[in-house]
Structure 1
Amino acid sequence: MSNKYADELWLGTLGKGEVRWVAIGMTNTVEEAANRHQTTPVATAALGRLMGASLLLASSMKAEEAITLRLLGDGPLGGVVAVGNARGEVRGYVHEPQVNLPLNEKGKLDVAGAVGAGEFCVSRSLSNGESYTGMVPIVSGEIADDLVHYLHTSEQVRSAALLGVLVERDLHVAGAAGMLFQLLPGASEESIQMLENRLSQIQGISPIAVDSDSMEDLVRNIMGDMEYRVLEKRPVGFCCTCSKERVSETLISVGKEGFKDLLEDQHAELICHFCNEHYNFDEADLRELYQQAK
């Protein structure tokens, strides 16, 4: 069952251009990730939020650049990874997708408990081939708080973020969305107060995602009576970079000795972490790759 409107990422400004904002509607994208990895509701929520966070951060980068986010927590999920780029392509996985936890004291999915304490790691892959990694302690495990803490600590950017995934009892993703507000240099107290007032009225972004009939509706429902401009719109979707050719390179790297065992079995199956795609190699495939490995 797909969502009623296509997933998109919108960028714009608030008021007199003193606040940058990015909004994502990502219900279908998170649903695809959940289906691929067969995640429980709490794992779906953690993965969906982190995928959203990677897209929010990547929105200001060049098209071919990417952000990799890792939640290296000590909770039962055992770590969550998401990779997003400025084109709106995202992928990710959870180390332990079958984790189930009771609801938290607010009656919501216990994402913080599933993530646990540890590090929030942000790696930027730039177009010139360089990459930079920054790490901050996980402050809540709710992911939106951790994103804001990272931006404030590592990049000295005052921000506010909303990330939410609503999963039904039948495991269907009913709504998933994200929003990032960033104060630009010279933002007035009036703009800051306006934003704080509006954010204090929002109980959560996932119910807004469920109740919205279009991306336009979603943005309008989040903004309330704040004046905003939309500057750009981009499609969003689950997209993995794996292929049988790439996976073959992994097999070739095991070398001659590793290949002997594979040839005896006459079959190999490799599974992509990010999209759970299964790649099968029969005896003929393996013999061909063995020649390349030699």
Structure 2
Amino acid sequence: MDMAYETLLVEIEAGVMSITLNRPDRLNAFTAVMLAELTLALDAAEKEEAVRAILITGAGRGFCAGQDLGDRKVIDEDIDLGASLEERYNPLVKRLRALPKPVVCAVNGVAAGAGANFALCCDIVLAAEGASFIQAFAKIGLIPDCGGTWLLPRLVGHARAMGLALTADKLEARRAADWGLIWQVVPDAELMREATSLARHLATQPTRALGLTKQALQASSTHSIDSQLAIERDLQREAGRTEDYREGVAAFREKRVPAFKGR
């Protein structure tokens, strides 16, 4: 990558942009700089044709401890945390969810507060056995943000979402997988190998179709069956006009592995 980052490690290999949160001394806690750089990196991932999948993880022993409270004033009675969400977190969540390429998240340690919900905003989440998820907001008198109040009920149901949010209890990776919060748990030593393998596989697939699939699934939570059928119709029309669709059909007929180009 030509762009230099202060709080991230970013590299492209085998069609995958790897983004590593790189503040290990602070458990990769978010700062204004890191949030801005994440948005820039995701913008670059979308624009770069060579990138067909994104892999996000954390450096050191943690994934992300959430907002770095030392990065902003927290005592001022006039503080407006809503403005912080509107300016930094909300655009990042929207950017991540709208990205028309698959995003794999490898949670290598604790994911707390906004760090937990940032991970859950990704498309496929793998976690090391020693990882955990904590909706830590209640511990400091706040509500779940970074999309948490939208994500949690849809992923684990109302009762579990409420319990996680109100108690701020730690949820171990194995139980997170059992509850359907994440895709898969793997041994700690195998996390990056498994996550990288998955991201590289996705980078060989029909990228445009994967992006349309993301769009359709995300729309489904607020649509009736009739509305969703109309979305499927419209998006399938787009998918059917791609080069990858023609390649997929040709490969099927010729009994060979398709060579998708992401177009």
If the length of structure 2 is used for normalisation, what is the TM-score?
0.25
Larger radius of gyration: 1
Q: More strand per residue: 1 or 2?
A: 1
Larger relative contact order, structure 1 or 2 (CA cutoff 8 Å, min sep 6): 1
Q: More helix per residue: 1 or 2?
A: 2
